[in-house]
Amino acid sequence: MYTTPCAFVTGASRGIGRAIAIGLAREGFNIVGNATGYDVNDRSRGLAETQERIEELGVAFLPAAGDIADLRTHQGLLEKTCDRFGHVDVLVNNAGVGPRQRLDFLDVTPESFDHVLGVNLRGTFFLTQRFARHMVERKAREPAERPKIVFITSISADTSSPTRSEYCLSKAGLSQLARVCADRLAGHGINVYEVRPGIIVTDMTAPVKEKYDALIAGGAVPQGRWGKPEDVARVVTALARGDFDYSTGGVFEVSGGMNIRSL
């Protein structure tokens, strides 16, 4: 019998995903951390560092490297998790990529489109489908459980960036996927949430730091600062803990007020 809840976090080797994994570990979850195996742009020690920091908190960590865009890996990721922890209580779909090169909409290539959509949308869609089936089966056996799925989208779900159109499209699609999943799974007692970060300090935004510094100084973020990965992690932790159990399908903005339209 497994008594400690288990969270599966994609993209847990750094940035927002690592902060979410640590936040959930503090809450008492055992963690399965997925990420791509080796990333030349990764300035941290990847999943190994996440593992070290989580084990210090007294819970277990299982590294599960794998490319979520490769649908053939999904069953193995689930089996590995169930072999170690029995089941998945919370799936956090955090892994995501921006375009390798920011190009104007008029110049976007099919390769970039396929890469970004392949990870952010297609990969996440089918990974979620696989894990949701597992959650539905488990709920039928153990009705008292309250499994949850969280999608990390972006303000790009409804904010236009013409030099990242394929990214915006992937996040808009992911936002709708969260809504559809919430609708489909509500009757099974599985809650689904969308968390929509704004401008967060991570390796992903490092190449555009100066541009965003200037935008923030110019007032683009009402609260006047960069977001931190921990700002996102705190929201995910509250959702995973069950603080919002009579709520599903909602969007939680973590953007310092960028959601506000102002004249």
Give the residue numbers annotated as catalytic, written as ranges. 154, 167, 171
**In the 8-state DSSP scheme, what is residue 200?**
B
Could you say which of 2, 4, 28, 39 contacts ligand NAI (CB under 6 A)?
A: 39
What are residue 93's DSSP bridge partners?
Answer: 151
What are residue 200's DSSP bridge partners?
Answer: 227
Is 149 a binder of ligand NAI (CB under 6 A)?
A: no
Taking the C-alpha atoms of residue 217 and residue 225, their distance in angstroms, rounded to an integer, is 8
CB of 243 to ligand NAI, least distance (A): 21
Comparing CB distances to ligand NAI, the nearer of 69 and 90 is: 69
Q: Please, what sign has the CA dihedral across residues 96, 164, 99, 210?
A: negative
CB of 211 to ligand NAI, least distance (A): 12
Looking from the CA of 259 toward its CB, the CA atoms found within 13 Å total 13
The three-class DSSP label of residue 236 is helix
Is 199 a binder of ligand NAI (CB under 6 A)?
A: yes
CB of 65 to ligand NAI, least distance (A): 8
Closest CA to 252 of 174, 167, 151: 151
Binding mask 4-23 for ligand NAI (x = CB under 6 A): ------xxxxxxxx------
Neighbours of 184 (CB within 10 A): 13
Could you say which of 30, 51, 81, 94 contacts ligand NAI (CB under 6 A)?
A: 94
Taking the C-alpha atoms of residue 121 and residue 240, their distance in angstroms, rounded to an integer, is 22
Comparing CB distances to ligand NAI, the nearer of 8 and 85 is: 8
Is 95 a binder of ligand NAI (CB under 6 A)?
A: yes
How many residues sit in the footprint of ligand NAI (CB under 6 A)? 29
CB of 185 to ligand NAI, least distance (A): 21
CA distances from 35 to 24, 63, 64, 101, 118 (A): 17, 8, 7, 21, 15
Is 202 a binder of ligand NAI (CB under 6 A)?
A: yes
Is 205 a binder of ligand NAI (CB under 6 A)?
A: yes
Could you say which of 49, 145, 158, 203 contacts ligand NAI (CB under 6 A)?
A: 203
Is 97 a binder of ligand NAI (CB under 6 A)?
A: yes
Rounded to 5 degrees, φ, ψ at 219 are 100, 10
Taking the C-alpha atoms of residue 111 and residue 100, their distance in angstroms, rounded to an integer, is 10
Is 256 a binder of ligand NAI (CB under 6 A)?
A: no
What number of H helices and E strands is found in the chain?
8, 7
CB of 140 to ligand NAI, least distance (A): 29
CA distances from 149 to 13, 214, 251 (A): 19, 35, 13
Q: Which of residues 49-88 bind ligand NAI (CB under 6 A)?
A: 67-69
Could you say which of 60, 136, 204, 208 contacts ligand NAI (CB under 6 A)?
A: 204
Residue numbers at the binding site for ligand NAI (CB under 6 A): 10-17, 34-36, 39, 67-69, 94-97, 119, 152, 154, 197, 199-200, 202-205
